[in-house]
Chain A
Amino acid sequence: MIKFNNVTKIYPAHSNNASSTPVLQDVSFEIKEGEFVSIIGKSGAGKTTITRLILGLEDPTSGEIYFKDKNIAELDAHGIQKIRRSIGCIYQDYKLLPLKTVYENVAYIMEVEGRSSGEIKKEVPQVLELIGLKEKMDNFPEQLSGGEQQRLAVARALVNHPDIIIADEPTGNLDPYNTYEVIFLLKKINKAGTMVILLTHDRETINKLGKRVITLVGGRILRDEAEGKFII
């Protein structure tokens, strides 16, 4: 479903004296439908760049990235928006819409897809109930705890039944209890058949998962193991 083919990403230098920085170098991997893959590495290893490349927020310097056999770099704005709608993203800083309530944050994703008001009214409360935020649906994100905000981000990622969930350091700001909850939710989503890509440097989480692990070091793939451990 997602295929990186010899992808290199180099950010141009901002000043004449500085040299360009390669963030990813000759990276190739393939993730199939329904897989749960963790991409691990230290800060600056290139994990977030992988997310941005999949979402079409950046173009690779060389190489190709395929999403359902379509080369992302060759898609027009509409094609990229379509891909983004089929991916649910969860971020360390939640990236919620601060001027919208809990309900509206989730509903927004369905509105972007052009879903009817009837569907939205029916499905949003269901999803909020699933992640335990139904009671707070009229609150604004700033009125929620960190764990609640992350659960809201998960609800938002889930509501459109995406093909893929990309979780970029989803537990970075959470305590162990909330970390467990979020990882539990991701496993549950994956069990239902959705591909999950987890980008993290949380050793304990990875070691407990027992799933495929791609290890990035300095922008290159060091290991790609079916049941990997956090070894850098």
Chain B
Amino acid sequence: MANLKRIISFGFQDFSRNRGISVATVFVLVVAIMLVTGLIFFQGTVGYLTSQIQNKIDITAYFNDGTAEQDILNVKDEILKMSPSIKNVEYISQDQALADFYQKHQDNPVLAQALQEVGGNPFLPSLNITTNGDPLQYAMVSNVLQTSDFSKLVNKVDFSQKKDTIEKVYSITTNINTFGIIFEIILTIVAILVVFNTIRLGIENSKEEISTMRVVGASNSFVRGPFIIQGIIYGLISFVICFLISWLFAFILSGKISVVLPGFNMLSFFLTNWWIFLLIQLGFGVAVGAISALVAVKKYLEV
């Protein structure tokens, strides 16, 4: 216990007395953590964009004029039973469709007049199905609608017209996600290597000191401990700086980004996911700081 206290105190002492190296290491660690943080923001933005696009692509199944509401609701239940991951299935009756049309074109009296000329309600009852954007789900919904019981009720499905677009959008979003993950992994590795090398150079600077400690009989943990504590301090300080920068970044850029991406609020994304930022920044900073120190000092400790 007394040794642990001494090791911690040596760590703080070396950190404060080795100011130049400490500042340089914290700076490099801040850059590395911000790189990883940038990737979280990137993932958030891409995720929002993808979900927005996917939400806009839905399937509408139009039923024959005069199909009983209960029959259509049976189709809805069947779709939900076959594919529970479907986001939403909304039944729109003929009356509802007509009301929606009037609502949508209330500023355009010509259209409303044209509809009156046609007479009656030309709209068909429909089911509006929102999926997660996966083409497999579209295929599943399509299969349900094509079963012999239901196919005679269905007038048309606009899925087939949208199929190519849906598959293209899905492949683009999948590619963005895949490349994003690969890019993140590469950048994270580069960030870790840069931090490791900075810490290694700092410890290289202390190799004479380490050799003296060994000669006077200090145990490996007594020599290694203060360097690991220093690594943890680097990580903690960098985390605090990065967390504040991330908050400021989200606060300042939130308005500007919502101009480009309407509906996406970067500040609320940060505030909703603050614990993810905290875990990643703190975990990355402390783990990379401490493990780099551990690995770098090991070289000088062979008895």
Contacts and interface: CB of A to CB of B under 8 A. Distances in A.
Interface stretch (A41-49, A94-102, A143-151, A217-225): A94-102
Interface residues of B, number: 21
A19 interface: no
A111 B223 CA distance: 12
Nearest to A109: B216
14 contacts: A78-B219, A81-B217, A81-B219, A84-B217, A89-B215, A95-B211, A95-B212, A97-B213, A99-B14, A99-B209, A108-B213, A112-B218, A114-B3, A117-B2
B216 A112 contact: yes
Contact of A81 (B13, B14, B18, B218): B218
A100 B3 CA distance: 17
A17 interface: no
A60 interface: no
A56 B303 contact: yes
Contact of A85 (B17, B217, B303): B217
The residue in A82, A84, A99 that gathers the most chain B C-beta atoms within 10 A of its C-beta is: A99
B123 interface: no
Interface of A: 55-57, 77-78, 80-87, 89, 95-100, 108-109, 111-114, 116-117, 156
Contacts, number: 58
A96 B18 CA distance: 16
Given A80-B303, A81-B218, A111 B6 contact: yes
The residue in B2, B13, B219, B303 that gathers the most chain A C-beta atoms within 10 A of its C-beta is: B303
A112 B225 CA distance: 12
A99 B18 contact: yes
Main secondary structure of the interface of B (DSSP, over half): helix
B2 A114 contact: yes
A117 B215 CA distance: 22
A97 B209 contact: yes
Given A81-B218, A86-B217, 5 more contacts: A85-B216, A95-B215, A99-B18, A99-B209, A156-B216
B102 interface: no
A110 B208 CA distance: 20
* Top 6 closest pairs, chain A to chain B, by CB: A84-B217, A85-B217, A95-B212, A112-B218, A77-B303, A99-B17
B222 interface: yes
B64 interface: no
A80 B216 CA distance: 11
A55 B214 CA distance: 10
Contact of B209 (A83, A89, A98): A98
A120 to B, nearest CB: 10
A112 B212 contact: no
B17 A112 contact: no
Interface in B74-114: none
A117 B6 CA distance: 10
B220 interface: yes
Contact of A84 (B2, B13, B18, B215): B215
Contacts of A56: 303
Contacts of B218: 81, 108, 112
Interface string B187-227: 00000000000000000000011011111111110100000
B215 A77 contact: no
A109 B6 CA distance: 12
A33 to B, nearest CB: 20
A78 to B, nearest CB: 8
A45 to B, nearest CB: 21
Interface in B2-26: 2-3, 6, 13-14, 17-18
B303 A95 contact: no
A22 B18 CA distance: 40
Nearest to A76: B303
A97 B215 contact: no
A77 B220 contact: yes
Contact of A57 (B208, B213, B215): B215
Given A99-B13, A114-B3, A116-B2, A82 B217 contact: yes
A96 B303 contact: no
Contacts of A78: 219
Contacts of B2: 114, 116-117
A56 B211 CA distance: 13
B243 to A, nearest CB: 30
